[in-house]
Amino acid sequence: MNDVKIIEIKKSIFEDNDKDANNLREELKRRGVFLLNLMSSPGSGKTTTLIQTINLLKDRLRVAVMEADIDSDVDAKKIKAATGIESVQLHTGGMCHLDAEMTRQGLESLPLDKLDLAILENVGNLVCPAEFDTGSCRNVMILSVPEGHDKPLKYPLMFSICDLVLINKIDVAPYFDFDIEECKKNILLRNPDARVILICAKTGEGIPEFVDYLIAEVNNWKAQ
Amino acid sequence: MNDVKIIEIKKSIFEDNDKDANNLREELKRRGVFLLNLMSSPGSGKTTTLIQTINLLKDRLRVAVMEADIDSDVDAKKIKAATGIESVQLHTGGMCHLDAEMTRQGLESLPLDKLDLAILENVGNLVCPAEFDTGSCRNVMILSVPEGHDKPLKYPLMFSICDLVLINKIDVAPYFDFDIEECKKNILLRNPDARVILICAKTGEGIPEFVDYLIAEVNNWKAQ
């Protein structure tokens, strides 16, 4: 029952990814689908965040998820079981990121004409996914408390291309040397326009604010 | 006083990395230097683990560290301040991994003839560093409890090439859904010969076992 589609993504020839990405964005615009690219380190809580978010969101927007991983279908099954929405697993064949053409291959497996929002959960990696425009309308990343507040100093590009940073696992902040204000300062150093929301995906804290953000972004984008 | 050398690593032409790696290993063998390649996700505790390890190790082996990062010199400074040993920062110019030629560039900045052990702290990334042999004698990785016990399922290559997995932050295990036995099972699925040591880099728990492992490996390698 919780079987999910597994799509084996082919490596792109990567001739002009920026052009492919712009073309994909234009096509999505015509079809009225907002593409969100969600990135983070391995284990920072992307899937749990998505489950909480989708359960608050699915009665207000028509949403589906693409779970990109090198191997396994753990995440796509989890999403489908916990939310009931359409969820596909993209296997990247060892690739450390998705580019626009690979994203397009994933999107083709979704019922785009019945969607408002398609979410791409990118490969867990703070380096390579930041270098490739997937064609998304917005880039969002999760930084979890155990990773440390210095990460924007070490992974500058990722933080500079994200419109929103979700700081996750704030429930365990007392057990780690994590300075939220210092972290915000480091994020704004990389992207002065970045928005920051504190969340705990496990308990759902902060998720309503992320849901409001998504609904506003999707509506703005459709109205443009 | 805590200023550290920053080496801007040039991207390799990458003609035959396996050959470069074997050549580097042979050269290190001739010079009596053991190279350890330490890998993990961002924020899993590589630098803190190294500080604890080096402070127990530095009177028994002559050791130096290369800290690879895309940007910042936070880690090299931390290591130098906390241990007093030679520590250099390698800037990868945006690259998500180090190959053998890049590692060689870093080693050239160290006083190799006065060392038994050179440690490379690779870029925080569970994907790309696993694909490039650095010329190291051993690969060790850190998986931290907050990342989850399913990571060997999602990042198979990293776990299959590592001789030893350090499971870090075991002090916070009660606050996370982390099953140590399940994690060990997942690691052995990828590499039946992998050794696993539980550590808490913050308190030093388990570090003596890692130090014993390193000393035995360095001595075995020198004796071969």
Domains and CATH numbers, chain A: 11-223 (3.40.50.300)
Its ipTM equals: 0.85
How far from the centroid of its chain's Cα atoms is residue A214's Cα? 12
pLDDT single digits (tens) A135-185 = 999 999 999 999 999 999 989 999 999 999 999 999 999 999 999 999 999
pLDDT over threshold 50, residue B1: no
State how far the Cα of A47 lies from the Cα of A63, in Å rounded to an integer. Answer: 15
Average pLDDT, chain B: 93
**Smallest Cα distance from A212 to chain B, Å:** 27
Question: Which of A89, A161, A163 shows the shortest CA–CA distance to A129?
Answer: A161
Predicted pLDDT at A1: 44
How far from the centroid of its chain's Cα atoms is residue A125's Cα? 12
Predicted pLDDT at A2: 53
C-alpha distances in Å from residue A160, one per residue of A167, B98, B117: 15, 23, 37
Q: Which chain B residues are closer than 8 Å to A131 by Cβ? A: 94
Q: Which chain A residues are closer than 8 Å to B71 by Cβ? A: 153-156
**Smallest Cα distance from A7 to chain B, Å:** 15
Taking the Cβ of residue B155 and every Cβ of chain A, the question of whether any pair is shorter than 8 Å is answered with yes
Q: Which chain A residue lies closest to B168 (C-alpha atoms)?
A: A146
pLDDT single digits (tens) A46-94 = 999 999 999 999 999 999 999 998 888 888 999 999 999 999 999 887 7
Contacts 24+ apart (CB under 8 A), B83-86: B83/B51, B83/B54, B83/B55, B83/B58, B84/B58, B85/B54, B85/B58, B86/B110, B86/B111
pLDDT over threshold 90, residue B38: yes
pLDDT single digits (tens) B142-201 = 999 999 999 999 899 999 999 999 999 999 999 999 999 999 999 999 999 999 999 999
pTM here is 0.91
**What's the mean pLDDT in B73-90?**
93
- Test B144 with A43 for CB contact under 8 angstroms: yes
Reported as a pLDDT band with limits 50, 70 and 90, residue B96 is confident
Q: Which chain A residue lies closest to B178 (C-alpha atoms)?
A: A43
Q: Are the CB atoms for A13 and A114 separated by under 8 Å?
A: no
Taking the Cβ of residue A69 and every Cβ of chain B, the question of whether any pair is shorter than 8 Å is answered with yes
The single-letter DSSP state of residue B205 is: B
Test the A interface: residue of B6, B40, B41 with most A CBs within 10 Å: B41
Residue bearing the bigger pLDDT, B70 or A101: A101
**H helix and E strand count, chain A:** 8, 8
- Test B154 with A126 for CB contact under 8 angstroms: no
C-alpha distances in Å from residue B217, one per residue of A75, B55, B66: 38, 18, 19
The three-class DSSP label of residue B15 is coil
The C-alpha torsion from B171 through B172 and B175 to B179, rounded to 10°, is -80
**Smallest Cα distance from B217 to chain A, Å:** 29
State how far the Cα of B132 lies from the Cα of B106, in Å rounded to an integer. Answer: 16
